[in-house]
Chains A and B, each alone.
Chain A
Amino acid sequence: MNRVPILFLAIFAAVTLSFWGVVVMPQLEVGNAGVLTTMDTGVTYPLARNGHAAQGAEVYRANGCAECHTQQVRPKGMGTDYERGWGKRRTIAEDYLLEDSVQIGGLRLGPDLSNVGQRQPGVTLHLQHLYNPRVTVPQSTMPRYTYLFNKRPLAKGEKPSPNALPANTEPGYEITPKPEASALAAYLVSLNAQSAVFSAPFPIIKTNVTAKAAVVSPVK
């Protein structure tokens, strides 16, 4: 290996080969996935998010929420994602089809959020949790996102505005969400990857039918 052009060509060939295997082949297999039809209602899946929730996805990305939260439910038998109630089925390639920037995450310092919209559909609860996670979950280790809210002390007897967070969030203050906070909450509520699709049927977690009983004995 004493000639630079030959060495260079060898490196180029080796990296191109792995590029073909790691990027091109998967692109041909899962990259061309299209929308599906759900098995129960027959509607198209996935549907695009509404504009407000799509803006929230940008807030989610900008603040690096994926540094602590994942958005992936593993297949049954891998981990205990089902048992924790994080999803009824594993996540599939089509779940991420319409995302601008897929925020799948790799560390779970916080719970998985693939289906958080289904688990906690209330926008107010999400807003309260973003303002001060210890209000909704006393032991939470999540940071506060106070910069997504406006805070104003209330005069004696003054009532907070209608879009303010509930009084127990921080007594004596009017806490109103900035547009970013509302968008983020709308995004979190929109997270719901549980549609019944053919390629990822709901696994049976518990059953009373034993393997032995399920075997049909041959007719004599």
Chain B
Amino acid sequence: MGSTIQNICEGNPVPHEAVDRSCRWPVLFLLLKAVGWLVISLGIGLISSIKMHSPGFWSNCEWVTFGRLRPAFFTALIYGFAIQASLGVSLWMLARLGKTKLVAGASAVIGCGLLNFGVAIGVLQIMAGQSTGFTWMEMPRQAAALVGGGFFLVAVSAFATLRHREMKPLYISHWFLLTALFCFLWFLVQGYVMGVAFPVRGIMQVVLNAWYTTGLQYLVLMPFALAIAYFLLPKLIGKPVYSTQAAGFGFWILILFAGWSALSRVPQGPVPRWMLAVGSSCKFMLIMVAVCFAVNWFMTLRQAKKASSAEPAWSFLASAVWAFLAGTVLEVFGATDALLSRVAFTTYSLGVTHLILIGFVAMAIFAGIYYVVERVLEDEWKSRGLIQAHLVLTLLGVLLTAGAYLFGGLTVGPKLNLQSGAFLDVARSFTPFLGTATLGYLLLFAGQLCLVWNLGSTLMAATSDERAEFCSWCCGESASAKKARASA
């Protein structure tokens, strides 16, 4: 019982400070760019949300029409922020878990550059009307190739660090990280080859798209977030994770059944019924992933003397865990016949997506960012107040957006799916919920500005010496400095 990170070390463990210093620039590079994309994506999300209930808003500009902004929002959020920030935190976790310095950091920095170039081109092309038309893979193929190439280069650094680890036993987070690193490339290549380059025909495009979105959600983003959660839990609480076996069981259930659950997302008419039946049954198994995690989480907290931590990462991680449990339950039950017959084609699934993407994945990443940045900069966060503001605004934002979409789906769903009144009434019934979601987006956007401000000021304070050194190297010594040196 009980897994510990402090296992027997087989090689020469590198001290924590040296590990952190080796990760400093590659990790900061990835995290800074990711936070930039987060603000951009939520800005786009805010405008697109306004357009959902105010159709006249900026209607004469084709670049910001709703149908282009919504995919641009998800592209920037998933590829620009979630994937990139997860990579940043993962590199540091892999180095720390292996008690080794980061290997091939230059590859990660080049990869980060490529990835950002790809996402920027992708988002601009979507807004220019060159979307592929497939959910979450709207980026044209050139942009996707850049994103895939960039991810590969960062993954090279991750795998090299894993290979050179001094501590040989693998920890729970390793399993999830390996899954996410491998699956992203697998799904991206397969999705774009079979969906865009040499597209399958007809309805199979929809099935392939369902496979892609499910893979990205359950086998890339969720494993990244779970790896962060399993890493931070013992660190913050000071106790080892309660049961490695339970974590292992959850892991196997996830990789065995998550892919199959894609079949629950295929349309109800044009494909054989067995697909939906298999899909929703496999999706039901995913509840076990949440159960295994919940067992580990609550039992570990019970073992600890104090079930919380003074670290800023703690509140974010705890919120992420609740969103994960709620989101998984809502997603699983949303695929059952009883609920699907009410909420099909409503904003319900949008609500679940927001809860999982922002409430769980982004919150877990924030916990990672708050934990990692302090260590790689060897300096504390500049403002505790801004961290609190970030937490409160993001929490309220998630509750309002996800809550409004979920309740909107549950309230309007019966009107849409069980009654046959005028459709216009159905469409107008969504409006108050869509308006509430806009308020949520506004809070989310404001919250991320707090993060940017805090990150920027912490970074400036921590790197003041380096910046001064760089300036003197770049511009030569100033006259006053020369005089001071001469007099000394």
A residues touching B (Cβ–Cβ < 8 Å)? 1-4, 7-8, 10-12, 14-15, 17-19, 21-23, 26-27, 29-31, 33, 61-68, 70, 72-75, 78-80, 83-84, 90-104, 106-111, 133, 137, 139-148
Contact = CB atoms under 8 A, between A and B. Distances in A.
12 contacts: A18-B258, A21-B259, A21-B278, A31-B200, A61-B132, A61-B133, A63-B62, A63-B67, A72-B270, A75-B268, A98-B202, A106-B349
Contacts of B175: 1, 7
Most chain A Cβ neighbours within 10 Å, of B190, B268, B347:
B268
A1 B211 contact: no
Contacts of B70: 64, 67
B388 interface: no
A145 B170 contact: no
B325 to A, nearest CB: 23
Contacts of A12: 182
A142 B55 contact: yes
B201 A26 contact: no
B208 A23 contact: yes
B206 interface: yes
Interface of B: 51-53, 55-56, 59-62, 65-68, 70-71, 129-135, 162-163, 168-170, 174-175, 178-179, 182-183, 186, 190, 194, 199-208, 210-211, 215, 219, 248, 252, 255-260, 262-263, 267-272, 275, 278, 341, 344-347, 349-350, 416-420, 423-424, 426-428, 430-431
Contacts of B178: 4, 7-8, 11
Nearest to A107: B345
Contacts of A137: 424
B270 A95 contact: yes
Contact of A84 (B174, B210, B219, B423): B423
A64 B179 contact: no
Contacts of A145: 59, 65
Nearest to B262: A22
A7 B179 CA distance: 9
B401 to A, nearest CB: 15
Contacts of A101: 132-134, 199, 205
B423 A64 contact: no
B272 to A, nearest CB: 6
A1 B174 CA distance: 10
Contact of A133 (B55, B201, B272): B55
Given A67-B70, A106-B345, A15 B219 contact: yes
Contacts of B66: 64, 67-68, 143
